[in-house]
Amino acid sequence: MKFGTKAIHAGVEPDPSTGAIMTPIYQTSTYVQRSPGDHKGYEYSRTHNPTRTALQQNLAALENGKHGICFSSGLGAIDAVMKLFRPGDEIISTSDLYGGTYRLFTKVFEPFGIKFHFVPMSDMDAIEEKINSNTKLIWVETPTNPMMNIIDIVEVAKIAKNHGVLLAVDNTFASPFLQNPLDLGADIVMHSVTKYLGGHSDVVMGALVVNDDVLAERLVFLQNASGATPGPQDCFLVLRGIKTLHIRMERHSQNGKTIAAYLKNHPKVEKVYWPGFEDHPNHDIAKKQMRDFGGMISFTLVGNRLEDAKKVMENFKLFSLAESLGGVESLCGHPATMTHASIPKEEREKVGLVDSLIRLSVGIEDAEDLKNDIAKALEAI
């Protein structure tokens, strides 16, 4: 099946008892057994739930994987990956990444003895330099949050395979419609399902997709044992959201291109970060591994003044000032004080995350209206 067909049909069957075309919300905590241990595949809803099963099968299909595993948040999914490792193990991560991931790595798992190296992964030598006998995982975000850097998944996968370490890719910014890391050599794909997969800013959820049966078994064990599982109502909402993922992502990408071009030519904008520009440092890699360039854009203002960034964001009307991304509505955020505030200022600025940087999640509204909204907001400075 092509992607749009998979989004609607993969992993989903009409309800066998009624013929309902939409997967029911199995709002139950437990399941009656015929005899002790003799059940229909479901015992307790932390372990399995039919609504969650349908979603996990659908997500696996969208990423061309075998196993989908859902969690109560994206960080819950990353937490499960980190629990695969032990004190003394080392993990190499991209230096430009979501602040919550950085916080989880440095504040939760580092005190337990797991060592993290943060490197600029556009430089393959930087990865090689940090690999040693204790290295167990390479963690990649691409496009990165919020600097929109592109990391060559194929090349990183070669390094990982050569050294016998796992490769995990946070695919949240791209979504499965724009990029499929398993096809490029990754072992684990992570999504904050909250974002593009849900698509309507009404769910918090995470997911992992893998091909390896043994790895899947370990992650499913952690999903159940640690208990960070989503409820059936949220799974239903995501299944509904995914049915329009391909159409939404096409519009997000179209609008992203329009807004990026507008910002690039605005006299009050200093720099625009969007991988669709031919002068983006890794544009060719983005063209190679992504189907389009998406609707995530970051930009800085001339003069790099925090007060200017605040004025612009306070004067948006259509771009709502809020955390998160990937919904049908356009959002703006200030990474330095919001999503990436947990990263020390000196570390943020090493990757270019300055105080005037504004991150846009371009929605699916009319592009001309969005341009006008930006124009009026920039008049405030």
Task: Kindly state the tokens that stand for 160.
Answer: 């990982």
Active site residue 170: yes
CB 185 within 8 A of CB 161: yes
Residue count (the chain): 381
Q: Is 107 a catalytic residue?
A: no
Q: Catalytic residue at 371?
A: no
Which one is catalytic: 96, 152, 170, 308?
170
Sign of CA dihedral 118, 74, 107, 215: negative
Tokens of 367: 């592009």
Coil, strand, or helix at residue 169?
A: strand
Cα angle 196, 371, 170 (rounded to 5 degrees) comes to 25
Q: Which residues face 297 on adjacent strands? A: 360
CA distance 381 to 379: 5
Which of 97, 148, 103, 94 is CA-nearest to residue 300? 148
Distance of alpha carbon 38 from alpha carbon 71, whole angstroms:
27
Cβ neighbours around 27 below 10 Å, total: 12
- Distance of alpha carbon 245 from alpha carbon 177, whole angstroms: 7
For residue 153, the tally of other CB atoms under 10 A from its CB is 27
- Strand boundaries in 219-304, DSSP class E: 269-273, 296-301
CA terminus-to-terminus distance, the chain: 50
Catalytic residue, from 52, 195, 257, 348: name it: 195
Choose, from 98, 102, 196, 273, the residue flagged as catalytic: 98
The span from the CA of 169 to the CA of 28, in Å, is: 33
Q: Which of 31, 42, 46, 376 is catalytic?
A: 46
Find all residues with CB under 8 Å of 288, minimum gap 6, and list them.
none
Q: Answer yes or no: 348 catalytic.
A: no
Please, which residues have CB within 8 angstroms of residue 372's CB and are 6 or more apart in sequence? none
Take residue 209 and report the two structure tokens written for it.
């997709």
142: CB partners within 8 A, 6+ apart = 94, 149, 150, 151, 153, 169, 170, 171, 173, 174, 179, 289
- Whether the CB-CB separation of 59 and 12 falls below 8 Å is answered with no
What are the residue numbers of the active site?
Answer: 46, 98, 170, 195
